[in-house]
Amino acid sequence: MDLIVARNRADLLAARREGTVALVPTMGALHEGHRSLIRQARVRSDQVVVSIFVNPLQFGPSEDFSRYPRTFDDDLDVCRDEGVDVVFHPGVDDMYPPGRQVSVSAGEMGRVVEGASRPGHFDGVLTVVLKLFNLVRPDLAVFGQKDAQQLALIRRMVADLDVPVEILGAPTVRESDGLALSSRNRYLSDDDRKVALGLSRALRAGAAQLTPDKIRTAAHEVLAQAGPRLELDYLALVDPATFTDVSESYHGMAVLAVAARVGSTRLIDNVTVTLNPS
């Protein structure tokens, strides 16, 4: 079947077929990481819906909403290549009709780590994701592990609000040099990109250690080597269920997360580590 582009709720309803539906929510500017999400959705469902919507609620007043890359025609080509059935591409007024008052609160987990640097960001993320779930009515939805805190919060929302959607997390896709794929990578100059590699190098250095203090120390040493052009926002070692800092005695899986600005571009990355294995 030909790819269907649904631009409003009526189009989306008309495009729905019988069978299992998988949703891949995106803000567009699709890359190989998005392709990997679509492929996971494809093998798990009868119909794949990709949403392309740059969500204004998750951008702060000084962030890059107007600058965020919008490459809709190229995104459609990606979706056709990957066998997507429906692209949902609503306008802002379609998603947020005039007079809207109710939003989703991300709670305490939405105010730490990335949420501390971007107040209100995760409220905006959860609000749009819940709206997409209600509009598309998927059986499952696929999100990338690169946005680990977002993935954890979506799982928390689904559990807390009894949303009947299975959440799948897909591994981070990286370039051959280790840089995590991101739509914002296109903003990086060649020199910026070399500096940005300090993020993945720091995560690898930290992941090679076994205790919290050694992990943090090793990662910070690599970040310092990247020089002043890498402006660190945070390096955090956290419990993957709550995103609170782990203690030195913590055992089990944890997330080592980093955010930094290179030039005018803010990047995030993370890896999963095992602490104090027995």
Q: Which helix (H) or strand (E) holds 132?
A: helix 121-136
**The pLDDT of residue 246 is above 90:** yes
**The pLDDT of residue 235 is above 80:** yes
User: Residue 64's pLDDT is what?
Assistant: 82
**The pLDDT of residue 116 is above 90:** yes
**Residue pLDDT, tens place only, 118-133:** 999 999 999 999 999 9
Q: How far apart are CA 27 and CA 15, in angstroms?
A: 20
The proportion of the chain whose per-residue pLDDT surpasses 90, expressed as a percent, equals 94
**Residue pLDDT, tens place only, 56-101:** 999 998 888 988 999 999 999 999 999 999 999 999 999 999 999 9
Q: Which of 163-167, 258-262, 273-277 has the lowest mean pLDDT?
A: 273-277
User: Residue 277's pLDDT is what?
Assistant: 78
User: Options 3.40.50.1820, 3.40.30.10, 3.30.1300.10, 3.40.50.2300; which CATH number does 185-270 get?
Assistant: 3.30.1300.10
Which residue numbers belong to the known binding site for (R)-pantoate? 58, 150
**Residue pLDDT, tens place only, 247-259:** 999 999 999 999 9
251 is catalytic: no
Helix (H, G, I), strand (E, B) or coil at 47: strand
Which tokens in the block code for residue 77? 């080509």
Residues 6 or more apart whose CB falls under 8 angstroms from that of 265 comprise: 184, 185, 187, 188, 192, 196
Helix (H, G, I), strand (E, B) or coil at 34: helix
State the number of CA atoms in the 13 A half-sphere of 216 facing the CB: 12
Q: How far apart are CA 227 and CA 210, in angstroms?
A: 26
Question: Do residues 181 and 144 make contact, with C-beta atoms less than 8 angstroms apart?
Answer: no
Nearest to 63 by CA among 130, 120, 126: 120
Domain spans, the chain: 4-170, 185-270
**The pLDDT of residue 1 is above 90:** no
Residue the block writes with tokens 């794929």: 181
State the average pLDDT for the chain: 96
Arithmetic mean of pLDDT, 205-211: 95
The proportion of the chain whose per-residue pLDDT surpasses 70, expressed as a percent, equals 99
Arithmetic mean of pLDDT, 257-276: 95
User: Residue 63's pLDDT is what?
Assistant: 86
**Residue pLDDT, tens place only, 16-43:** 999 999 999 999 999 999 999 999 999 9
Arithmetic mean of pLDDT, 189-205: 96
Q: How far apart are CA 69 and CA 54, in angstroms?
A: 9
- Residue 148: which pLDDT band, with cuts at 50, 70 and 90? very high
**The pLDDT of residue 278 is above 90:** no
Which residue numbers belong to the known binding site for ATP? 27-34, 144-147, 173, 181-184
Which residue numbers belong to the known binding site for beta-alanine? 58
Looking at this protein, which amino acid is placed at residue 243? F
**Per the residue annotation, which of 34, 121, 220, 251 is the catalytic one?**
34
User: Residue 251's pLDDT is what?
Assistant: 92
Nearest to 74 by CA among 66, 62, 82: 82
Question: Do residues 135 and 12 make contact, with C-beta atoms less than 8 angstroms apart?
Answer: yes
CA dihedral sign, ordered 36, 39, 43, 48:
positive
**The pLDDT of residue 151 is above 90:** yes
**The pLDDT of residue 268 is above 90:** yes
What SS3 string covers 210-278? Answer: CCHHHHHHHHHHHHHHCCCCEEEEEEEEECCCCCCECCCCCCEEEEEEEEEEECCEEEEEEEEEEECCC
The CATH number assigned to the domain with range 4-170 reads: 3.40.50.620
Which residue numbers belong to the known binding site? 27-34, 58, 144-147, 150, 173, 181-184
